[in-house]
Amino acid sequence: MECAGKGRGTRCVGPARQRCGRCRAVAYCSASHQLSHWSVHKEECARLEEQMKQVDVLNDFPFTFSEEATVQVCENQESRCSFLTRRGIHLKGMWACECSCQPVVKSLQSGRLYDSWNLPSILCPCSGPPSPLLNRLVGWDDYYKWRDIPLHSPIAVLLHWPLTIYHAIQLAEIGGFMLRDKSDLRIHYLGPEKELVQFGALAELRALLPGFQVHIELVGPAVPHFRDGERINFSSYIQCTDSDCICKSSSGSMTQDSSDGQTSEVVLQFRRGLYHDVYGDIAKHSLPDLIIAPNAGIAAYPSWLPTIELIKKINVPAVFSDYCEEACHLAARCINAATGHTLSLPIQLNPFRQPLAVEESALLLPCYSNCFLFGIGAFVR
């Protein structure tokens, strides 16, 4: 990781190996950089110390590979590349942008529609569930049991996208935003990046939200020009690699469709641009029931300010996620400054966070995609 005091007058003298003795969440290249950074760090030190006490909770997953994918990655004993390579999925299809070997931008340039999990049927949800979903799923263990997937399957690395959407909907319902008497659900999904390569995983919402027509607008500046306005209909589940599996008997897992008359259980629509700039055009056809912004980085991007103001104006429940609790805390402070209100949905750990740690994070806190959730807007109707 980088020295927390980088850029404060003098050049770093070496690797950042000297941790703050109190919080243990930041590191420095030298004592002089640690001293010069104290004026900034002292405000966050006690808060980071409390967050570091939750490390074991953050790393707690039910999978047989949990130690390898969490602690060993955080301590540089393993890498995301080695994790994927060991399972035969490194740089394959939707898995391609899960490590530094192939950045998201390069994956997007291919323009391909990936319709395979690149895993055998026993390790992935390539067909409908064996039984109806009778109770709410509360964590990965629940989901794997329901879908009859063994706990050594890495499929959660991709499925954290639809499961986070599912969980966000549950939180919105608990908060008072009810889906009763609705046959369709319209979600505005802000700032997608990896999801633009891995959107095939969202087909699993067909199983998670039975009986609903789910329409998702994926809106953000990372949407490629050639995909702007494109619509994808999921007509079945993403396929496995078994040649004789029942999933091969379907007519296809997703189709491109530009007409307005087609319907599907899950429909994705791609929109290029910042949400506050394109909302007017989207709202002509798709007013949101729920807004979701994964790994938002609100404190890092000033462009969020007009979007937050828009969400406040339209008064729609919005659920955000980020890689660590500290990022959520900084986001909450920005939201309060922009709206004058505190969070409607307090910061909380996402039980469906990605179970593969982020490498070389800015803090020594374990970081995971979609790790923590929080929300604003009208959660009570």
Classify residue 245 as exposed, middle or buried by CB count within 10 Å of its CB (0-12, 13-18, 19+): middle
Residue 275 parent element (H or E): helix 275-283
Render each residue's pLDDT in the chain as its tens digit; 381 residues: 788 888 777 888 888 889 999 999 999 999 999 998 999 899 899 999 999 999 999 999 999 999 999 999 998 899 999 999 999 999 999 999 998 887 787 777 777 888 899 999 999 999 999 888 888 999 999 999 999 999 999 999 999 999 999 999 999 886 566 665 678 899 999 999 999 999 999 999 999 998 889 999 999 999 999 999 999 999 889 999 999 999 988 555 566 554 444 444 899 999 999 999 999 999 998 899 999 999 999 999 999 999 999 999 999 999 999 999 999 999 999 999 999 999 999 999 999 999 999 997 778 889 999 999 999 987 654
Locate the domains of the chain by residue range. Answer: 1-42, 61-242+263-376
Strand-pair category, 372-376 with 345-349: antiparallel
Measured distance CA(363)–CA(117) in Å, rounded: 32
Q: Where are the beta strands (DSSP E) in the chain?
A: 18-19, 27-28, 184-190, 213-220, 231-234, 254-256, 266-272, 290-293, 318-322, 345-349, 372-376
CATH of domain 61-242+263-376: 3.40.50
Closest CA to 247 of 151, 116, 132, 144: 116
pTM of the model: 0.92
Token representation of residue 277: 């700039």
CB atoms within 10 A of CB 22: 14
